[in-house]
């Protein structure tokens, strides 16, 4: 069965990490994505947006890693955020929808399993919402998110609850804290994520991680 013939719920649950397959599926899904997620009760963008604004009210720039069609960016604008929002995603069709929504100052196609196309200490806040399912190298990805955040900035991430344990995410959080990369301010979960599942399936829960990037950390995070 071809990837585009697999029911979207089954495909999402499987969580492939192949960049080409991810880009193709999200390109195909881009036009229906917002409506589908709304029907499934998707709450992560709201939770993450509110967390950024509460934990870093002075932020003037946000990087949305895996921005998709721009749900987080639009919510930030709806809540009065007037700073710079930049989006990265592997799906060009999704990026076009995000750009057309008007919330982002710039969007760029990027393979999120590689080094991010930003300099060190570039933004005040980094968010990664509903994306870690496809990024199995958790520590490498989270080090990248911290690398591009300014010291004192925040990183806010979601991870599906089953993968939180399977990929030893708490151990990664603790290891990065011991290494002086960040301080974990809050780890919440399992918490509501997709209460309607992937379209009529069992409810899906997640963990929310909020971390503060250390001011005294090394400039380049190895």
The domain that holds 102 is classified in CATH as 3.40.50.150
Three-state DSSP at 70 gives coil
Number of domains in the chain: 1
Q: Per residue in 139-156, is it b (16+ CB within 10 Å) or e — as a string?
A: bebbbbbbbbbbeebbbb
Over the stretch 17-40, which tens digit does the pLDDT of each residue have? 788 888 999 899 999 999 999 999
Over the stretch 134-154, which tens digit does the pLDDT of each residue have? 999 999 999 999 999 999 999
Per-residue tokens: 51 = 């967390």
pTM of the model: 0.92
What average pLDDT does this structure show over 43-70?
Answer: 98
75 domain residue, yes or no: yes
State the Cα torsion 21-168-112-121 to the nearest 10°. 170
Query: Is the separation of the CB atoms in 222 and 192 below 8 Å?
Result: no
40 domain residue, yes or no: yes
Over the stretch 79-102, which tens digit does the pLDDT of each residue have? 999 999 999 999 999 999 999 999
Average pLDDT across the chain, whole number: 91
83 lies in which domain range? 3-111+121-146+154-213
Over the stretch 191-215, which tens digit does the pLDDT of each residue have? 999 998 887 789 999 999 999 999 7
């Amino acid at each position: 069965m071809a990837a585009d013939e697999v029911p979207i719920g089954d495909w999402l649950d499987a969580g492939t990490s192949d960049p080409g397959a991810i880009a193709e599926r999200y390109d195909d899904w881009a036009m229906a994505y917002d409506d589908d997620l709304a029907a499934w009760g998707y709450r992560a963008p709201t939770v993450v947006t509110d967390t950024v604004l509460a934990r870093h009210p002075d932020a003037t720039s946000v990087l949305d890693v895996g921005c998709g069609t721009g749900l987080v960016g639009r919510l930030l604008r709806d809540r009065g955020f007037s700073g710079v929002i930049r989006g990265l995603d592997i799906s060009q069709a999704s990026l076009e929808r995000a750009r057309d929504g008007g919330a982002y100052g710039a969007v760029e196609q990027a393979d999120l399993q590689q080094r991010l196309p930003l300099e060190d200490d570039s933004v005040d806040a980094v968010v990664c919402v509903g994306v870690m399912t496809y990024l199995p190298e958790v520590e490498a990805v989270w080090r990248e998110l911290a690398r591009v955040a300014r010291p004192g900035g925040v990183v806010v991430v979601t991870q599906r609850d089953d993968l939180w344990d399977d990929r030893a995410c708490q151990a990664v959080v603790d290891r990065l804290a011991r290494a002086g990369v960040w301080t974990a301010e809050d780890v919440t979960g399992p918490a509501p994520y997709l209460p309607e599942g992937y379209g009529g399936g069992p409810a899906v829960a997640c963990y929310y991680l909020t971390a503060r990037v250390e001011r005294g950390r090394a400039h380049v995070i190895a």
